[in-house]
Structure 1
Amino acid sequence: MSTGGRQEFAWAEREDAPLHEVYFPHGDYTPGGRAAVWREGVGEYTVGVLGHDPWRAYQAQVVAYGRDNTRCKFYQRPTPAIGENNKWYSRMFVSCTNVSGAAVDSKFVFSFSGVAINDTPRLAGPAAFFETAADGTAIARNYERTSDGSYTTGRGWMSFNSSSGNPLPTIRRRSAGNYLVSIPGLGTPNPGLAQVTALGSGTTHCVTGSPYSLADSPTTLRVAVYGWAGSTRADTDFVLNYDQYVTRIANDYQGARAHADKPFSVPYAPRRSYNSGAIADDPGTNTASGRGTGLYNMHHSKIRSTPNSAWVGAAYSATGGNYCKIESWVPSSSGGTIVHIRCYDAQGNPVNSEYFETFQGPGIGPS
């Protein structure tokens, strides 16, 4: 199913680049080459993305990269801007902090989905995304309350749903830091995974639960989102992206996703494990394993390491405040790619945690 959108990925590897110096992230990890990064200050970065309509629905996700306990988020909403040759582009604003809230320079991994222009590659596959506000509204040109008290996102300026008829998502704030997102038309017996990134100032961060649907409305997908300030639930704006499989912008853009639900060291097949078919007759497998407290590997057997991109997020836990980040991704000696993942508790200590992971891009094949 064509969604009319497009995707970009970037590994922003120059965490201490000179202030305001524009650079293009490493080409091996930035398919498309339409993203640029510049550092605005300690722990603050702007990402510019070309090749889409900045006045239409789009979303971005960001996750910290490295071996420390830094985490990253968006500190303000994206804005349109005019660049060279009077071409419009979108600016996303990333901030990285340690657990005490101090700004720190950090590498990060960035992904973007938006409406394509000028014949740039199109996104395909059931998907939805939107931006929300902490009071339970969705950011759009207009919004209105539905009869049950939840909100609909009006014309969907920051909202998108690829399902038939394009019914827009709704969101309900159930309590402080506790939200329920409903996406009509995308419910399935084996739904995909949701990505979420906190939006706004401060140190709040977000996690999600597993997507699900109910018997009385089997075609409506539901995702619980939780905001945290340390180990305390807290209201926060956030940006959510859902992929039913792994969305791809062309036939040669492939990927995998998995829910690592057993924080142990013994290798196992994770839940909701999916490969989009990098090799038609043998799409490969996902294998999760651990290598110490809070240290994990995810092996994608048939997708090579470049030029692709990874994302990871902690799954909801009753203990509260856990978060995860990407340590690295490297070629596997047995073929495919191993993604190294680190998870921390609210105090920044390594902790065993369930997590959601996606890996995608144009680098198909085992080597």
Structure 2
Amino acid sequence: MKVLVTGGLGFIGSHTTHMLLKRGYKVLILDNLSNSRLETLDGINSSCENKAQFVEGDILDRRLLDQIFTSHDVQGVIHFAALKSVKESMEKPERYHLNNVEGTERLLGKCIQHGVERFVFSSSAAIYGNSRSPVSEDAEIGEILNPYGGSKIKCEQILRNAYSLHGKPDITILRYFNVAGAHPEGILGEEMRTDDGNLMSHIIRIATGEIEKLFIYGGDYDTPDGTGIRDYIHVMDVARGHIHALEKQKRGVHIYNLGSGKGTSVLQILQSFEKVNGRRIAYEIVERREGDIGVSFADPSKAMEELGWWAELDIRDIVRDSWDYQWRLIQDMCK
């Protein structure tokens, strides 16, 4: 099977593409490099007998999409390409609607036109808003706290409406929680950005001395240590979840949570990082941020039952692999 992976040079996309290649799939990556680096392609193709093909371009480009589907026998699509900064989405909501919502609509339209059979969509637990945890797939959508989460809801609606109208392609929607970690061989990882609200990014930047300390927003939540609790899941588990979804796709539209099913507090993450990696992380607890919730973690039982998938890696793997990848980058820069 040949699979088109949009946003395949991004964090989750690159790990998924590498895993697809290892399993013998033929892969075509479409990425506009707005939030990724071309050098990542070397890591994706390393140690793989099959090599991914790459096209630089945008999912908004209908002509390019036509060329891709005409020139390649694409049977499945895994759609990652999206803007994902919650902070930026608050500042530029129209950009998130154009890229995430209209981009998905155009890509799906071309999939229908060219007879693509399988479509796996990268959604987010952000759509659950402030829903009570553990969150199952049939939970009511909570209050949407930002345009990023809103864009994912609109995309899911587009996918369901399209299937109702056309009866194709078969669609799997994966809602995952807080993805972190890196490839255990150090060949792929997350690019740390100064405007990234990701907790692990901030911890890494403190460990490297780039910034002084971590600001923890809220120490008075109704949790064991007062700090917010989230469901952290290793990127390798998430990548494997996409392949399970592709291989076990059923008729219709199906939705699954990808999460560990366990909540971990901010302080527990810090303590685990310090213990596993031997690096002290300075922090200061400050006032809560507007819109934040105290507890959010998944009920992943549906994915376990129907896809045969569950999280195999834990917090120790996440903090170890995240740091090992960044430490290798630092060493390479010093050579």
Structure 2-normalised TM-score?
Answer: 0.27
Q: Greater relative contact order (Cα 8 A, min sep 6): structure 1 or 2?
A: 2
Structure 1-normalised TM-score?
Answer: 0.25
* Structure showing the higher strand proportion among its residues: 1
* Structure showing the higher helix proportion among its residues: 2
